[in-house]
Each structure stands twice: as structure tokens, then as C-alpha cells.
Amino acid sequence: MLASVSVLIAAACGGGPSPGSVSESVEDLTSFTGKAVPASGAIYISGIYSVGQTSLWLGESWFTRGHSHTGLFKSEANGSGWQQMLGWDGWPLWQKYFDSQNALVAAEFEEGYRLHLRLLSTADGGLHWRAADLPVGPFSGWSAQSIDFTDPNNGWLMVGLGSFGDVACGQAKEAVAIYRTRNGGATWSEIVRVDQQHPSSHGLKLEAGKVGLSFRTTESGYITTSDPTEGDIVYFTKDGGDSWNPQALPVNQGRGLAVIAPPNWITPTVGLMSMDISSRPLSACMLRSPSTQPQPSRTPEPWDVEGPANLVAPAPGPWLLTTTDGGANWTVLEPSSRWGSVSSVAPTDSFHWFVASADNIWLTANGGRQWDVKKGVLKPGCDFGDLVFVNPTNGVGSALCDEPGPVIQGCPGGPDYISTSECPPLATPLLVTRDSGATWSEVPKPTLR
């Protein structure tokens, strides 16, 4: 069983894209692409999303060593009648569903053993899709740190340009470039870049790792950080990302390493932001500077296309902060100190929030002032993975279970076993609840084509 899943923060594999406006190729996709999935394939839930109280979207992914495949499904709000709307060889990095017609998906497409990031969009509920390249280029690794859109047209992309320093020494720095689009990803313009030549730009600094970004309106957004010394610092913008200002959060990280997830905006004024505080590495302190010489491209390996651990369990971190004034002030929710490892946070409106921790469900009906807990709601050997509630009563989730399942190439039990570092749990059932999380029933997962 995975006791916890760390937030992945990866550096770029190259020097990054050049500044300026970038116009990417756009093409139409049929409703289904990709290779066939064998009947015995190990299928994992890679995202559950609700569109108000009208419909649900489900991501399912299959991987074997050196190959992966993902499908997107749509159903009624009760989770019945799933229909596959799209499939491709690769993984989903980010998804957002605005209404019954409009959705965006940042999808990793396989090209041999490399992954190529593209933005998929639909304006007719998934019947037809358009694909546009993002300004990151083909790569092996994770150079796209974060992406977010406030509506189908206005979006931001943060691209990692390399990190250096040493967490054990109390120092960490990361270079990034921020891009913006106003036409749904057809063109992107670089608006901010911080690197060694520009350690401070438009208020954003090179210091600290950059975890992700999110926007609550087209003008107001956040960049969150990871830092061993100033882990309570985030950056906010009030002009669409053209300038940034630091903001201190009311959290004492002590001597730990703080990782802050981007805010989840329930409304333009109400938001939740989670944080993980872990022990610093005990390795010897070795300060390193990045090489000024371009690094040669390595030969891609099969594991370059395997899904990251946080794909099946978001694991945002146990400390939960809330705001009711659009981020002007943040408050730590006291019960979060008792949750332990958290796998998912699922708000339904400004007042009803659900938190999944191991096999427990914490819930509030008044915006975090009082909490109730329903303990041990899953069968033994299972912890929650992803979670979404379409209303305060009905929810859909996945579980991570220690149960025998299909053999995965490169994982324990297979003839080509290498390691468990990239192997997810052996079973991820699909679950539904009709009583606010008190009881859960397993339902069949849709067949991935």
C-alpha cells in the first residue's frame, strides 16, 4: 500500500523555449485515437471531474513498460452510462471542464519513448476535439510545471527551465517561464521569465522551487512554491500575470520542507490551498551550480512514458488553508493537523467540503468551522485515491487497494521485474456513495478502448 504519495516537482530537460509570441500548430482529432488495450490490461483511474450537478468525466489509463494509453469518459451525474469520448497513447497532465460543452485537456502524447505535450479542446461535449502543440517541445521528463485556464480562452502555462541548489543546505532555486494565451491556446506569449541572467523579474524571484499556478479570474492568480527556509511564501498577481508580489502564509514549517499546492478556487472569493511539510533530506550538504553548457539529449528509455505516482492519487498535502476574500487572507483549518496523509480534497460549493484521508472521510457543511469524520468507510486494505462530489450527498471516488491484479511489466510478479518505484497499487476500483461518504459501493469501471 502506498502510505503517501509525494508531490512531484521535476526540472526541465533543456534550456526552455525562447521568449516572445508562439503560434502552435492546430489540428482536428477524431473522437478516438490510439492503440487497442488488451483485455487483461491493468487499468487505473487517472482523474474524476464533475460539471456542476449535470455530468461526470472520468479518466482511465493503462500502462505497460514503454507504453501507455488513456481514455476520457462522460456520464450522467449519477455515474451511470459511461461513454468514451476520446483516447490517445499517453497520459493526462491536467484537465478542466467548464460546462456541458467546453473542456480542455493537457495531454502527453507518446512519440516513441518520448512524451509530447499538447492541449486538447472540445466545444461540443467531447464529440469533436482539436489539438494544439504547447510551447514546450518534445521532451523526456516534465518541463511543463503547471497549466490553468479561467475559461476556454484565457490560460497560463508555467514551464520549468532548470533547478539548482541543495535542499539539505537550506537552499533551492528554480528558473521558470510564464506564458499566456487569450485564444484558447492557438497562440502563446511569454510574459515573465526568471533564470540565472534574470534572478528577479516582474516581482517573481529565482529562489525557491515553483510548484504550480492557478487563477481565480483573468486578472488574479497565484504561483505556489517549495522551499526549505521560506516555505510560507506564495506569489500573487492582480494584472493577469504581468507582475507578481510575495505573500506570507500563516504556517510555521519549522525545520521541514514545505510544498504548497496551487489554490483550488470554489468561487472567485472562496478557495482552498493545501500544503505538505516533510523532513529535510539527511544527505550531506553539497551546493551545486547549474552547468552553463547545454546538456546533451539522452536516449529515451521505456520508463519515460510511465505515469507519475500522483496521477492515481493527487496527494495535495495534509495542511489545508482557506480564504473567503479572494486570497487577501488565508486561515489554516485546525482539523487538518489530525488528518495525516491526505489523498484528495473535494469541495462541492462554498460550504460543503470533503477530505479523503486513508480510508476516512472528513466533511464540513459550514465552510470549515465544524467537521465530522466517517472512519473506516472502505474495506480493509484500501485507501482513497481520487474523489469528487457532485452535490453534498452523492460522490464518486477511486481506491488504492492491496489486492491481486493484472501483472504489470517491470513491476513485482512480472518476468522483467526492475523496481517498485514507478508501480502503482495493484487495484483501483471505482466507488460511489449516496449518503455523503458514510458508505461506498464498488461499481464496474467502463471498458477502455
**With bands split at pLDDT 50, 70 and 90, how would you rate the model's confidence at 401?**
confident
pLDDT of residue 199: 92
**With bands split at pLDDT 50, 70 and 90, how would you rate the model's confidence at 423?**
low
Predicted confidence (pLDDT) at residue 306 exceeds the cutoff of 80: no
Which range, 21-30, 33-42, 201-210, has the best average confidence (pLDDT)?
201-210
pLDDT of residue 142: 43
**With bands split at pLDDT 50, 70 and 90, how would you rate the model's confidence at 259?**
confident
Give mean pLDDT, residues 387-403.
90
Over residues 273-283, the pLDDT tens digits come to 998 887 766 55
Give mean pLDDT, residues 288-308.
57
C-alpha cell at 407: 501483472
In b/e form, how buried is each residue of 190-223, taking b as 16+ CB within 10 angstroms?
bbbbbbeeeeebbebebbbbbbbbbbbebebbbb
Residue 396 pairs in a beta bridge with: 388, 432
CA–CA distances in Å: residue 256 to residues 232, 251, 272: 11, 12, 22
pLDDT of residue 11: 29
Query: Which residues are within 8 A (CB) of 100 and not within 5 positions of it... i.e. 6 or more apart?
Result: 51, 54, 55, 125
Q: Over the chain, what is the mean pLDDT?
A: 80
Cβ-based neighbour number of residue 78 at 10 Å: 13
Q: Compute the distance between CA of residue 142 and CA of residue 401 in angstroms, rounded to an integer.
A: 27
pLDDT of residue 234: 93
pLDDT of residue 439: 97
pLDDT of residue 400: 85
pLDDT of residue 309: 54
**With bands split at pLDDT 50, 70 and 90, how would you rate the model's confidence at 15?**
very low
Over residues 205-222, the pLDDT tens digits come to 998 889 899 999 999 999
**With bands split at pLDDT 50, 70 and 90, how would you rate the model's confidence at 4?**
very low
Over residues 407-421, the pLDDT tens digits come to 666 665 666 665 555
| pLDDT top residue among 382 and 2 | 382
pLDDT of residue 79: 79
C-alpha cell at 294: 547545454
pLDDT of residue 328: 94
pLDDT of residue 183: 95
Lowest mean per-residue pLDDT among 143-147, 173-177, 290-294, 338-342: 290-294
Which range, 274-278, 294-298, 320-324, has the best average confidence (pLDDT)?
320-324
Over residues 182-209, the pLDDT tens digits come to 999 999 999 999 988 999 999 999 988 8
pLDDT of residue 42: 74
Q: Compute the distance between CA of residue 43 and CA of residue 108 in angstroms, rounded to an integer.
A: 17
Model pTM? 0.84
**With bands split at pLDDT 50, 70 and 90, how would you rate the model's confidence at 62?**
confident
Predicted confidence (pLDDT) at residue 22 exceeds the cutoff of 80: no
pLDDT of residue 173: 85
> Considering just the CA atoms, what is the radius of gyration of the chain in Å?
21
pLDDT of residue 294: 46
**With bands split at pLDDT 50, 70 and 90, how would you rate the model's confidence at 10?**
very low
Cβ-based neighbour number of residue 51 at 10 Å: 19
pLDDT of residue 432: 95
